[in-house]
Amino acid sequence: MISFVKTPKFISALFSGYIWHFSRQKKELYLTFDDGPEPKITPWVLETLKAFDAKATFFCVGENVKKQPVLFKRIISEGHQIGNHTFNHLNGLKTTVKNYLKSSNDTHNVFLKLNKGILLENNLLFRPPYGKIRPKQAKNLRAKGYKIILWDVLSRDFDTKTSKEDCFNNVIKNTKNGSIIVFHDSLKAFERLEDTLPKILNYFTEKGYSFKVIKDIALPN
């Protein structure tokens, strides 16, 4: 759906049923990490967040969670939030509604099994891989209680053509109060993530921002 560094207002207005950002009134930011957990990357992310007393939301691929149950539990135990990113990173525009929902449900079941069946039913979070999802897929997920979380700032750490400097600037030049910022705890993104994440955490911490998990969702203002 979107690959802009800064999500244009007309897109967020057009898809108003999705969450793009939170309150612009508070100096709070929402870091999100897609595609993990990845054993070579996610532990580094967790240690980096801990160094700044920052919390984040991890949109996990079910297949990866199944392979890395201990790491998944660590994310939760350290006070971070989890979200569903389908079982095998499906592009919604290239997937039938039936298969997309099955993939999402399979991920949910893995979450439940590893988290002893305890998930906040009013805090089911879903992010479509690539930001691509069909209206009917979204409708069905919302009917199950999911909030669909997109973003207003894309770091583009996943793009090998993006320099470390551009990755950093993509975030600091476009972030506002309440921004949802996308990073990836993946091997592909790590060269840029490793350089950018500590700088971002330091930059916004010095400006008095706090980094929050996505929970208790209300529409932004």
Candidates 21, 34, 35, 80; catalytic one: 34
100, 90 Cβ separation under 8 angstroms:
yes
DSSP reduced 3-state for 180: strand
- Phi, psi angle pair for 182, to nearest 5°: -105, 125
Tell the burial category of 34 from Cβ atoms under 10 Å away from its Cβ (0-12, 13-18, 19+). buried
Active site residue 80: no
DSSP reduced 3-state for 219: coil
- Shortest CA distance to 119 belongs to which of 107, 103, 108? 108
For residue 149, give the DSSP letter. B
Active site residue 89: no
CA distance 97 to 92: 8
Candidates 21, 80, 108, 184; catalytic one: 184
CA distance 91 to 67: 21
Beta strand segments in 40-159, E: 56-60, 81-84, 124-126, 146-148, 153-154
CA distance 215 to 123: 6
Instruction: Show which residues are catalytic.
Output: 34, 184
